[in-house]
Amino acid sequence: MNPASDSSTQDGGLFANSRFVRYCYARLLSLIGQNALIYGLFIAVISEQESSLATSAFVLASVIPSIVLGLPGGLVADLLPKKIVLLLSMALRMLAVFWFIDLDPGVEGAIGLTFLFWTAYQFFAPAENAALLAIVPRERLAHASSFLQALSLVAQLLGAGVVAPLAVKLLDVEGLSMIVLGCLGFSALILLSLPHLTYRLGGQARDVVWWRALPGGYRAIAADPGLTSTTLMRVLLDTGMLMFVVAAPVFIEETLDTGAQNAIYIALPGAVGLALGLLLAPLLLTFVSARGLALGGFVCFTAVLLALPFVDAFAPEMAGASGPVRDFTDWLGVSDAIVATMLLLPIAGAGSSFVHVAARTDVYRRVPTNLVAQVFATQAALGSIGALVPTCLAGVMLDQLPVRLVLVLIGGSLTACALYAWQRGARAARARGVAEIRAGLPGDASAEDEGDWA
């Protein structure tokens, strides 16, 4: 029997499932500790050495483990019981933090801990995602995915916005490390109490040659044009978001004509849009396909990205479009360009949520259960690989070109890549449908694919 099909869940709703509620508590505590630690380490790096080389090394310490260990981590999470993988990787993360308490929290120590922490996370995250299949019925996975994305946003705000700044100010880095240990420890205890975290089908084969199975997640993505499209949307979106983060300080100073320390004008509206998108995504998925929602979200994000370079040109019309907006502008005492940016960024944030929720839901719906963790790990690895060069290139371009032109190039490149991938996927879906019809096979799935691509 699949534990996810528990009658209390079916009758009482998602949050009537006590196992899902405990899973959420464990995830929240783990992410609060993780975000608090990463924020504290980043502060330690930039406060002791304001070198761009040290900052780049810190970023690479979080990206390289995903590139190198993402696929093995997903395979391990699929082949072994999820609880064992979760607890062992959690123990490794806690051990890394414990070692750091006895070391000098300098630049090298901070970068080393970051590398170890993200190395363990490459095994933890795929197992955590795959365990959801054993907790939540498939018909409620869209709602569960959306709620977990919202939970991640809350954990980021609490960990990096509240816990880490207060701990660093009042308790120093060692105190922050103790708080992180507490969060991870309580999360591990909750996971330990959860039964049945591995979803298995009857007769599922377990004899696997590891080196042959390693690209299993990539093969699953490549074999399904629909899953390929949502994966590419997610990868392109993550790349665009990282490139915008690099360009944001210059955009704030040059286009919005304010100090880079006023990044709250960008962060807060974007967070509001993220939250709104997480609320709307499950509802929209009842009317449109996951691929359609991912495309719509990506269009929202890139449209805002292409509009921001010219925000000061149409800002007076937006800021003065209605009395309340003008009153809000006067009350804040900020420029029309800042207010227009604050009105645009929630659209981009909502689009980002649409893409991520659609991509996660599509994996749960389309991928065999024995490959779910590998597909999630493969998507994360592809995102890290795809974002590595463009993010560095954005920094180089900002030193040579105006930020307006850089944003236009970023938005235009993302749009071109998305259109190319979409057209290739459409041709593949149509070709598969024609082949199935000629072979006398049922063409429902292909027709659905073709309709979604069109």
Confidence of residue 70 (pLDDT cuts 50, 70, 90): confident
Rounded Cα distance, 347 and 297, in Å: 9
Q: Return the pLDDT at 441.
A: 46
Nearest to residue 367, comparing CAs of 381, 378, 356? 378
pLDDT at 248 over 50: yes
| Residue entry with tokens 């210059």 | 250
Judged against a pLDDT cut of 90, whether residue 290 lies above it is answered with no
| 8 Å CB contact between 33 and 117 | no
pLDDT at 55: 62
What is the per-residue pLDDT for 23? 93
pLDDT range class, residue 29, cuts 50, 70, 90 = very high
Q: Which residue has the higher pLDDT, 454 or 448?
A: 448
- What pLDDT score was predicted for residue 226? 80
Q: How far is CA 198 from CA 92, 132, 368, in A?
A: 21, 9, 13
Mean pLDDT estimate for the chain: 76
Comparison of pLDDT for 233 and 335, the residue scoring more = 233
* 242 or 238, which is more confident: 238
pLDDT, tens only, 354-391: 998 888 888 888 888 777 777 887 887 788 787 777 87
Please say whether the beta carbons of 74 and 373 come within 8 A. yes
Q: What percent of the chain has pLDDT over 70?
A: 76
pLDDT digits (tens, 9 = 90+) for 421-446: 667 656 655 665 555 555 554 444 43
Question: Which residue shows structure tokens 């996660």?
Answer: 360
pLDDT at 90: 92
Q: What percent of the chain has pLDDT over 90?
A: 9
Q: Which residues, 6+ apart, have CB-to-CB distance to 55 below 8 Å?
A: 45, 46
How confident is the model over 244-270, as a mean pLDDT? 73
The amino acid occupying position 327 is: D
Q: Is 259 left (phi over 0), alpha (psi -120 to 50) or beta?
A: beta
Res 25: pLDDT: 94
- DSSP, collapsed to helix, strand or coil, labels residue 169 as helix
Which pLDDT value is given to residue 246? Answer: 74
Structure-model confidence comparison of residues 210 and 381, the more confident one: 381
Residue 332: how many other CB atoms lie within 10 Å: 12
Per-residue b/e over 61-78, b at no fewer than 16 CB within 10 Å? bbbebbbebbbbbbbbbb
- Report the predicted TM-score, pTM, of the whole model to 2 decimal places: 0.68
Average pLDDT over residues 205-228: 67
Q: Kindly state the helix (H) or strand (E) to which residue 92 belongs, with its residue range.
A: helix 82-101
Output phi, psi for 436, to 5 deg. -70, -40
What pLDDT sits at residue 27? 93
Mean pLDDT of 17-26: 91
Q: How many helices (H) and strands (E) does the chain have?
A: 18, 0
Cα 217 to Cα 58: distance, rounded to the nearest angstrom: 28
Distance CA 283, CA 300 (A): 18
Task: Using alpha carbons, select from 360, 405, 368 the residue that is nearest to residue 237.
Answer: 360
Domains of the chain: 1-197 (1.20.1250.20), 212-454 (1.20.1250.20)
DSSP 162: I
Q: How many CB atoms lie within 10 A of CB 444?
A: 10
- Structure token digits, residue 7: 């009658």
